[in-house]
Amino acid sequence: MKQSEDSKKAFAAISEDRLVALARKIISMPSKLFEEHEVADYLDRYLSDMGFAVEMMEVTHPWDETLVTRQPIAILKGTGGGPSLMINGHMDTNVTMSGWTVDPYEGKLEDGWLWGLGAQDDKGGMAAAISGIEGLIEAGIKLKGDIVMCPVAAHKVGGTGTRTLLRKGVGADFCINIEHAANTIGTVCTGGIRVKITTTTPGLFFRFTPEARAKYTNAIEQQADLIGRFGPSLTNQLPNNWLSHTPHPELADFPMIRYDSIGKDHYGRGCELVFQVRTIPGMTLDSVRDDVQRVLDGINDIPNLDYELTIPANGPTDPYFMDPMEISPDHPLVRAVAEGQELASGKPALIGSVERIGNYGDGNVIGASGIPSLQYGPGDIKVYPEWPAPDERVLVSELMITAKACAHAALTLCG
């Protein structure tokens, strides 16, 4: 593949020192969910210094309005007449797992690895994307279209920061959602729908007569029976193949369900079960609702079954509801990022569900809003026994590849 002169200039202007310094700086600032303020303010100044016009946007928790945080939405104006590119990645980190062997906020650098909470999810990737655009600016390249840099807050509450900016009218022609993908290009991602079923124990004053017992099925036992109907977690071998779908070659093990919570108070009569459905392209909220209802309607052998169904589990505006995301591998956005990835790494780009399999990101939300999106970024979760994990770390070489791929994509897409 032939690289344009501008792309070569941009690659040469991307500074590893500056990238690593930025990543370490924001890793040093704790930014748990709804505590992203310090990183937000730092990136506000950093992006302003680069020439971005920054609007600090408030983000409110979807069901607790006392929780408010903020995110800097930054636009680098193009010269006009070109498509715009959004780069979106989250500032909030995973919860701090136990077992860290290094200081999660120090940003230790050793043998080409950068360690720290957020190193790959998502601060390292965001620092890389910002450094990529910095390279374009340093190289004196002027794009026609705008760059819309969105370091978002509250990603862990179903993309609340991203939902907020979309609601406020922030948009673009394309979006790269920075998420750990070991620098593969996520073009197919599952969606997620939480299903809540509440069963109720009959309120019998005196349970120990034969008549009373005939009317009684405990709410927990009802749920145990329902679990048998919906089948096991993490497999697509579900009873009667109850989730309607057309199999997707990239997501052969999906759709699947996973049980998330079950609970009943000692004296309470209701028992609440929540499971999530990981959906594949073609499945919708309505199709899943119909499927669940069909399973429930078909039950006539659980005595005294008394349930209430809520889909999505947290009501109509449930932020945990995500549509699946899919974009054609031939889409100009995919081609541009793949080219950048290949030029930066010297290896063919892997495109599809690859390292994003079973995951979703804010790219799902952005894609569902009509903006063509993909999920891409540094960091390989296969280096940990499970994810999230202590000792989060990322290869600096992957950060540099990400920076270059983003710069190349911006150059290609924004003119």
CB 231 within 8 A of CB 242: yes
Cβ 93 to Zn ion shortest distance, Å: 9
Task: State yes or no: residue 355 binds Zn ion (CB under 5 A).
Answer: no
164 or 359: whose CB is closer to Zn ion? 359
Cβ 321 to Zn ion shortest distance, Å: 18
78 or 379: whose CB is closer to Zn ion? 379
Cβ 118 to Zn ion shortest distance, Å: 9
Residue 371 DSSP one-character state: -
Burial profile 308-330: b = 16 or more Cβ within 10 angstroms, e = fewer: eebbbbbeeebbbbbbbbbbeee
Cβ 292 to Zn ion shortest distance, Å: 28
Cβ 235 to Zn ion shortest distance, Å: 25
- Lookup result for tokens 């609440």: 272
Angle at 52 between CA 48 and CA 55, to 5 degrees: 80
Contact residues for 162 (Cβ-Cβ < 8 A; gap 6+): 88, 150, 152, 155, 362, 365, 366
Cβ 179 to Zn ion shortest distance, Å: 5
121 or 318: whose CB is closer to Zn ion? 121
Instruction: Mark the segment that binds Zn ion (CB under 5 A) among 65-73, 171-179, 208-216, 351-359.
Output: 171-179
Site for Zn ion in 177-196 (CB under 5 A): 179
CA 71 – CA 117 distance, rounded (Å): 19
Contact residues for 220 (Cβ-Cβ < 8 A; gap 6+): 199, 264, 271
Residue 350 DSSP one-character state: P
Cβ 380 to Zn ion shortest distance, Å: 13
152 or 336: whose CB is closer to Zn ion? 152
How many residues line the site for Zn ion (CB under 5 A)?
A: 3
175 or 302: whose CB is closer to Zn ion? 175
44 or 179: whose CB is closer to Zn ion? 179
Length in residues, the chain: 415
Site for Zn ion in 67-126 (CB under 5 A): 121-122
Helix axes 332-345 and 5-13, enclosed angle (nearest 10): 60
Cβ 121 to Zn ion shortest distance, Å: 4
CB-closest chain residue to Zn ion: 121
Q: CB burial class (10 A; 0-12, 13-18, 19+) of residue 3?
A: middle
343 or 366: whose CB is closer to Zn ion? 366
44 or 122: whose CB is closer to Zn ion? 122
The 238-277 site mask, x for binding Zn ion (CB under 5 A), equals: ----------------------------------------
CB 151 within 8 A of CB 40: yes
CA 3 – CA 173 distance, rounded (Å): 24
Query: How many helices and strands in the chain, by DSSP H and E?
Result: 11, 17
Cβ 238 to Zn ion shortest distance, Å: 28
Contact residues for 261 (Cβ-Cβ < 8 A; gap 6+): 272, 273, 274
Indicate the SS3 state at residue 297: helix
| Closest to 130 in 3D by CA, of 16, 19, 6 | 19
The 194-223 site mask, x for binding Zn ion (CB under 5 A), equals: ------------------------------
Structure tokens belonging to residue 85: 């590119």
Instruction: Mark the segment that binds Zn ion (CB under 5 A) among 175-183, 326-334, 342-350, 381-389.
Output: 175-183
179 or 339: whose CB is closer to Zn ion? 179
Residues in touch with Zn ion (CB under 5 A): 121-122, 179
